[in-house]
Amino acid sequence: MDTMKLTIPCVRIRIFGFILCISVGLALFFSAVYSGYRYMYDYDELSHVNMMYLLSSGYRPFLDFFSIYAPLFHYALLPVFTRIGATMNVFPVFRLVMIGMWIIRLGVGWYFVSRLFSKPVAWIFVAVMLLDPFAVFGGMQIRPDNLMILVFTLGFALSFEAYMRKSKYLFLGAGFLMGLSVLVMLKIAVSAGVLSFLLFISFITKKRIMEFIFFAAGAIISVVLFCFFFLFQGSLVQMVIQLVFDSKAVMTGIWYPPPLEFFYRPDNQYLYGLPGRPVTWYIALVFPVCALGGMFYALFRWRKTETKRFWIIILASMLCIQCAFFLVSKTVFIQYFLAVNWIIAIFAAVFIHSLVTGIRKPVWLTHILSVLAIGVFLTASFGSIRANIARGAFTHSEAEEQILLRRWEIIDKQSSVYPYLLFRPLSQPILYGYFIPQVPPSIRSRYPTDLATVQKSDVRYLILSSYHLRFIDSETQAYIQDHFTQQSFDEELWIQNGL
C-alpha cells in the first residue's frame, strides 16, 4: 500500500514533466528556427547565392570563374533563384529552404537513433541538437555544407537500413548518396572514408562482398556522372585543379585563420547569442564531454551485441578521426562542426539516457534523477531560447541594404564592376566573397592583373574600400585616380569619368 502511495505521485510527476518538456521543447524548436531565419547574412552566403546568379546568367564554373566549391548545391537551388530573381527577396526564401533541410536532418537522425538504440534516446538526440549552439548557428545558413551533411546523413541512414536488411539495391542507393555528399563538398570525405572502410572490413569477414560491390558501384556512378558533366562542358581538368589543389592553397593562404579554441571562448554573442558565459556557452563545453562518456558507455554496454557494436564503432571512429582532422587543420570554420554535431548529439543522448535509466539503481533514485534531468533540460532550454531570440536580433543592416539598393539603381544590370558587386556581371574571374589580395599569387597569376581589368572598356564602376586600395599596386591606383571619381555619397563607389 505504501509503495502504491509513493508510486502514484511519481507517475503524476512524470506525466507533468513529460508535458512540460514537450511544451518547452516546441518553444526551443521555434526559437532555433527564428534564430536561423533572422540571423544576419554572412558574406559566404551572399557569395553562394551570387554564384547561382552567375549560373543563371550563363557563366560556366571553373572556366568563366574560379571556384573551390563544386556547383551541385548551386545547381540544386538554381530553379528557386530563377523563380524569384536577383533581388534581396531571394535570401529569406533560401533560409527557409535551409531550415527545411535542417528539419529533415533532425527527422533522419531521429529515425536512425531510434533504430540503433531506442525512441527515448532518439528524442534526447533531437533535444541535444536543438540545444547545441554550433548545430543551430551553422545548420540553417545558405551554405553547400548543409546540403553535404543532409545527403551524407541520408546515405548513412540508408547504409544502416541496407545493412540490417542485407539489401544490395539499398546499398547501391546508399553508395550513390555517399559519393554525392563527397562531391557536394570534399570535407566530408573523412567520414565517408571511415564508413566505407569499416563496411568493407565487415563484408569481407562476413563473406557479403557483393553488398559492398553494390555500395561501391553507387559511389562510382555518382562520381562518373559528375565528371561527365564537366567533361562535356570542357572544364574537367580545371574542375579537378580548383577543387583539389587550389582549395588547399586558398585555405592555407588565409591571413587570419581562426584556431579551434576560438569557438569555445566566451563573450561571443554571434555564436552564443548572449555576452559573457551564457547557458549556450556551457552547453558547447559540456556536450562533447557527455558524448565521450556516451561513446565509452555504448562500446561497453553493447560490446556483445554484434550489429549495434559495429555501428557504434563506425560512429565512434568517424567522430574521433574527424576531430583529429580538426586538430591538425590550420583553418577551422564553424560550418566544419556540422560533420560532428550529429554524432556528438547521438553519444550525448546515450550518456544522458544511461544516467537516468540505463544503470541499475533503486526506484527512488531513478525518480530523483528523472526530476533532475527535467530540471537541467528546462534550465538549458530557457537559456537557449533567450540566446536564440537574441541571436535573431543580429539581422542584416538596413543601412548596408540601402547602400546596395542605391548601387543597383546607379549600376545597370549589364555593367560589370571591379572587383565585383552582388548580382552584377563579373569584371574578373574571382568571385564575390573573396578578398582578392588574399587569393594566393599562384592562382591570381592565371588571370588578368588589376590594371588590365580596370582598363577594360566595359568596367565603368569600381567598388573599392580604402583598405582594399592599400593592396593595389601604385600604377593601378594612379590609373584609377585619373579615370574614375570617388563618390561623396558612397566612398567605396568609383564611377568612370564622363558617365
Cα(330)–Cα(295) distance, rounded to whole angstroms? Answer: 27
Q: Are strands 459-463 and 493-496 parallel, antiparallel or unpaired?
A: antiparallel
Cα(158)–Cα(314) distance, rounded to whole angstroms? Answer: 14
DSSP code per residue over 19-85: HHHHHHHHHHHHHHHHHHHHSPPPHHHHHHHHHHHHHHTT--BTTTB--SS-THHHHHHHHHHHHH-
pLDDT at 14: 64
* Cell digits of residue 49: 547565392
Residue 359 confidence class, pLDDT cut points 50, 70, 90 = low
pLDDT at 326: 82
pLDDT at 414: 93
- Which residues have C-beta within 8 Å of that of residue 206, sequence separation ≥ 6? none
Residue 465 confidence class, pLDDT cut points 50, 70, 90 = very high
Query: Does the pLDDT of residue 1 top 50, yes or no?
Result: no
* Cell digits of residue 417: 564592376
pLDDT at 400: 85
Per-residue pLDDT, averaged over 397-404, amounts to 86
How far lies 195's CA from each of 109, 188, 191, in Å? 16, 11, 6
- Give the end-to-end CA distance of the chain in Å, rounded to a whole number: 94
Query: Does the pLDDT of residue 2 top 60, yes or no?
Result: no
Kindly report, residue by residue over 138-172, the tens digit of the pLDDT.
999 999 999 999 999 999 999 999 999 999 999 99
H or E element at residue 495 = strand 493-496
Per-residue pLDDT, averaged over 224-248, amounts to 95
Secondary structure letter of residue 242 according to DSSP: I
Cell 583529429: give the residue.
324
Backbone angles phi, psi at 34, to 5 degrees: -60, -45
Query: Does the pLDDT of residue 289 top 90, yes or no?
Result: yes
Cα(19)–Cα(24) distance, rounded to whole angstroms? Answer: 9
pTM for this model (two decimals): 0.93
Kindly report, residue by residue over 16-57, the tens digit of the pLDDT.
767 888 899 999 999 999 999 999 998 899 999 999 999 999
pLDDT at 10: 57
Percent residues over pLDDT 70 in the chain: 95
